[in-house]
Structure 1
Amino acid sequence: MTSAIPRLETDRLILREISIADWPEYRSMLMSERAIHMGGPYSLAGAWGMFCADTAQWSLFGVGALMIEEKSTGLCVGQVGINHGPLFPEHELGWLLYQDAEGRGIATEAAIAMRAWAFGVRKLTTLVSYITPDNHRSIGLARRLGAVLDHDAQRPDPEDLVFRHQAP
């Protein structure tokens, strides 16, 4: 399935296609302890594989990751996306922020925009967020988004919590 990669805008953010210019910061984050809640820290090869998978999902599944750019500074501050494929039992709404971007509502704003696109444009009826139990910031965000814990959902890692987002 080939799908045009969207460019989404919010009041403060541009959610845009991944470019190779995003690689150095993305690599640094995935190779650091900050990636602990995403199966990391990753090796260089593992980080590159994640970067490529985030891009390839668009042509394979019609979903994927978008980089989060602040309109006011032009800086890339993280990523938001819909993950799908053999590693994900369901479409997953996921996010990551670079350290300096935390605590400003950026992940919430980006996740709301990505979720609206998934439900409105892709016509998905449900999304999940797979979150490790000790990732309290992401659990808080999932709850702020209105997602509810789904104890019966399949999960890629048996330890993950699954938060379900229902279409409006």
Structure 2
Amino acid sequence: MTPAPTLTTSRLILRGPQKRDLAPFTKWLTESERMDQLGGNDTVGNAWRGFLAGIGHWNWHGYGFFTVTERRTGVATGRVGILNHVEWPQPELAWHMFDGFEGRSYAFEAACAVRDWAGRTLGLEPLISLIAPGNTRSLALATRLGCVEEGREMVQDEAVIMFRHLRHDDPRAEAQAAGAIA
């Protein structure tokens, strides 16, 4: 369905979106309390349109959100990938875990794998992340990944903090990837 490669880490498989991923994505977008950090819950129709836009993103750019699944169970746990929407200042490493899968370091593990892939394969680096000031989990993850705050901006009428990621070949990023990638 997409040109997405499959990335494997010690606990996860990252793959392109599949039809079966629409249900957990829709549930997260329409019901999760954590959507407050992203502007609030949305509708089923907008979830469907957003999911299809994600597939189109892969076809347009050659990169996008990977569906993050547990290797052991195959269950979809969230999405991590690279976005570059028309309003974005540059490609962004972005993440969100579905309800019940936070706090397991899945986002960290997947982000390390995506950062490594984006640098080695696509030459996209150093990437940015745009994070709402109140999104404490994402702010903590950016810090753990070694990101540096570059400034505060307005993107799509939302205040965000722009963080700069390590290059994939920075020794700190290589050490993180070695610990995450199988």
TM-score of the two chains, using structure 1 as the length reference? 0.92
Of stretches 43-52 and 74-83 in structure 1, the one that deviates more from structure 2 is: 43-52
> What's the counterpart of residue 14 of structure 1?
13
> What's the counterpart of residue 124 of structure 2?
124
CA distance in 1, matches of 2:38, 2:117: 23
Change in Cα spacing, 1:151 to 1:14, as seen in structure 2 (3 Å) is: same
CA distance in 2, matches of 1:126, 1:154: 20
Change in Cα spacing, 1:157 to 1:128, as seen in structure 2 (3 Å) is: farther
Of stretches 138-147 and 95-104 in structure 1, the one that deviates more from structure 2 is: 95-104
> Do 1:88 and 1:155's aligned partners in 2 also have CA atoms closer than 8 Å?
yes
Letter paired with 2:148: V
> What's the counterpart of residue 23 of structure 2?
24
CA distance in 2, matches of 1:134, 1:92: 19
Change in Cα spacing, 1:49 to 1:134, as seen in structure 2 (3 Å) is: same
Which portions of structure 1, spanning 4 or more consecutive aligned residues, are displaced by more than 6 angstroms?
A: none
Deviation (angstroms), 1:159: 1.1
Percent identity over paired residues: 37
> What's the counterpart of residue 108 of structure 1?
108
Change in Cα spacing, 1:84 to 1:159, as seen in structure 2 (3 Å) is: same
1:1-168, aligned counterparts within 5 Å? 4-32=3-31, 33-151=33-151, 155-167=155-167, 168=169
Letter paired with 1:162: M
Letter paired with 1:68: V
Deviation (angstroms), 1:37: 2.0
Unpaired runs of 5+ residues, structure 1, are none
Which SS does the other structure have where 2:91 is aligned?
Answer: strand
> Do 1:89 and 1:154's aligned partners in 2 also have CA atoms closer than 8 Å?
no
Unpaired runs of 5+ residues, structure 2, are 170-182
Letter paired with 2:4: I
Deviation (angstroms), 1:134: 0.7
Which SS does the other structure have where 1:95 is aligned?
Answer: strand
CA distance in 2, matches of 1:31, 1:87: 24
Of stretches 155-164 and 18-27 in structure 1, the one that deviates more from structure 2 is: 155-164
Which SS does the other structure have where 2:13 is aligned?
Answer: strand
CA distance in 1, matches of 2:157, 2:117: 26
CA distance in 2, matches of 1:19, 1:34: 23
